Amino acid sequence: MKKLLLLLLLLLLPTFGLMLRRGIYTMHDFHVFRQQQFEKCLIQTKTFPCRWSPDAGMGYGEPVFNFYGQFPYWLGQMIRLSGLSILNTVKANFILTIVTSAVAMYFLTRKLWSNTGALISAVFYAYAPYRAVDVWVRGALNESLAFVFFPLILLSIKEFISTNKNKYLFWLILSLSGLTITHNLSLLIFAPFAIIWTIFWWWQSNRSIHLIYDLTSAGLASILLSGFYLLPVVFESHLVTLGETIGGYYDFHSHYATLKQLFLSTFWGFGGSTWGPNDTMSFAVGQVHWTLAVIVSVCVLVKKANKEILFFISLGLLAIFLTHGKSDLIWNLIKPMAYIQFPWRFLTMSTLFLSLSAGAVVKFFPKIFMPLLLCLLLLLNSGIFRPDIWRDITDQEQFSGKLWDEQRSSALSDFWPKSAKIPSEFAPQLAEIILETNTYQKVRYSIVYFPGWVARIDGKKINVFPSGPLGLVTVRVPQGKSGVLSFEDTPVRRIGNIVSLVTLLGLMIWIWKKS
């Protein structure tokens, strides 16, 4: 197995090899900036988990990490301990998502198809066109990391149903929590497929319904473990413009993929998803992926082989269906799906299940065919794992000048407080005295107000309130005194922290007793 894993790593080199140089490539998302901001938040506030991005919102700050998945930035900070720059840290994080997701797929499928079949599935999982879109076009770090958790969750469910061993429940809880605090939209997309997967294996096992109760309890435990993140998302999202990202450009009706884009097009671009079919990025399922799925399906039907294979392929086809306009009725009926924004995000699931089923090819063709299959896949797909524009720059250049301004003004309408007007200019460096009397000063800071901002004078809290059209943090300070600002947890956040901590301690005690 070790030799196969080493071979897997070598086969994956083309997916990230072009990252192994100085600088960074252009991408849609701003994860380089967010990694820098997460680190700055840790240093400035000395709190964990961090929730505030001090330079976002054109320098006025935004509660980005109160709502956006933090786990990739936790990993980034661990990588930073090795001394890597922020640019290299983000690249290392992307490489980590590619390699570990392939390894996770390998372990999921090796009991289904054998070691060779698992290698096929793992390589197909890494080389799917949508993986290249996530890493090299969109730069969607959180979604790319979600690909690691999908196989781990499916594996934990299947193994628990097969063995009834509690260790798989433990790994299920950790994996589900990891997915939750990485990318909640991926969790929303994945959950129905995970439920179908669970019911299928339970039905196949003829085991007690109590297994379902245990798995449901594990799901609830993962929610509690993620409480520090989920509670603010549930109870504080209405305070920011997050809910406004489901209309206009983000209306899902405008972003269905066409059959040509899904199955036939070889177009590759670094643009975006536009209204209608004239997108400037690829939504390909992968010609090798879907062709192999068809071949394997025919083999199963002709040879009357294991029908489980058809189940996996059917889940992949269901995911593809949900990317297409013919699924509009489902999208309209299930209102929370609007938050997914782009139906083509279900390519995550088609990639998962078509790659999983790809390893079944070893059951129908001789081993000599496998190297040829992998060579064909690499020949057709390795060329898309490349950057659009490479910037040969350092951290200092990334976080200064025009590039710095672009990053500070990015995604401005995603997490901006609803009570404040969106700024049109960058924040001034210094606070402003807007009123002065013989006894006090009214000081307005260049920070947008959001619940959690606290001011202290001589260790005692004083009132903090928003003022002006931008709703900036304002305090009334006695003459001769100076206030100290800090961003702290609201009661909802504190409760979430406590719930997560108590759940973690409970899990540790449970595992200790079971062992």
Q: Do 374 and 436 sit in the same domain of this protein?
A: no
Mean of pLDDT values over 408-437:
89
For 397, half-sphere exposure in the C-beta direction (CA atoms, 13 angstrom radius) is: 8
The answer to whether residue 210 sits within a structural domain is: yes
pLDDT at position 300 is 94
Phi, psi at 465, each rounded to 5°: -145, 155
Considering 358, 391, 424, which residue would you say is the last residue of a domain?
391
The total of structural domains in the chain comes to 2
pLDDT at position 299 is 94
Q: Percentage helix, strand, coil, to 5, in the chain?
A: 65, 10, 30
Tell me the pTM.
0.96
CA distances from 115 to 112, 370, 476 (A): 9, 12, 68
Mean of pLDDT values over 349-365:
97
CA angle, residues 70, 76, 78, in degrees to nearest 5: 110
Residue 276's pLDDT band (cuts 50, 70, 90): confident
pLDDT > 90: what percent of the chain?
85
Q: Do 153 and 20 sit in the same domain of this protein?
A: yes
Question: Residue 120: pLDDT above 80?
Answer: yes
Cα separation, 105 vs 148, in Å, equals 8
* DSSP assignments along 368-437, one per residue: THHHHHHHHHHHHHGGGSS-SSEE---HHHHTSHHHHHHHHTTTTTTS-BTTSPPPSSPPPSS-EEEEE-
Question: Residue 342: pLDDT above 90?
Answer: yes
Question: Residue 245: pLDDT above 80?
Answer: no
Residue 304's pLDDT band (cuts 50, 70, 90): confident
pLDDT at position 75 is 97
Q: Do 387 and 461 sit in the same domain of this protein?
A: no
Q: Do 227 and 327 sit in the same domain of this protein?
A: yes
Cα separation, 74 vs 228, in Å, equals 14
- Among residues 447, 444, 404, the alpha carbon closest in space to that of 427 is found at 447
Q: Do 68 and 187 sit in the same domain of this protein?
A: yes
Q: Do 60 and 161 sit in the same domain of this protein?
A: yes
Q: Do 353 and 442 sit in the same domain of this protein?
A: no
Phi, psi at 153, each rounded to 5°: -65, -45
Cα separation, 120 vs 428, in Å, equals 55
Domain that includes residue 334, residue range: 2-391
Average pLDDT, the chain: 94
The answer to whether residue 406 sits within a structural domain is: no
The answer to whether residue 426 sits within a structural domain is: no
The answer to whether residue 116 sits within a structural domain is: yes
Considering 391, 410, 444, which residue would you say is the last residue of a domain?
391
Contacts of 512 (CB under 8 A, 6+ apart): none
Instruction: Answer yes or no: are the C-beta atoms of 446 and 418 closer than 8 Å.
Output: no
Q: Do 444 and 375 sit in the same domain of this protein?
A: no
For 276-291, letters b (16+ CB in 10 Å) and e give eeebebbbbbbbbbbe
CA distances from 5 to 10, 459, 463 (A): 9, 56, 59
The answer to whether residue 146 sits within a structural domain is: yes
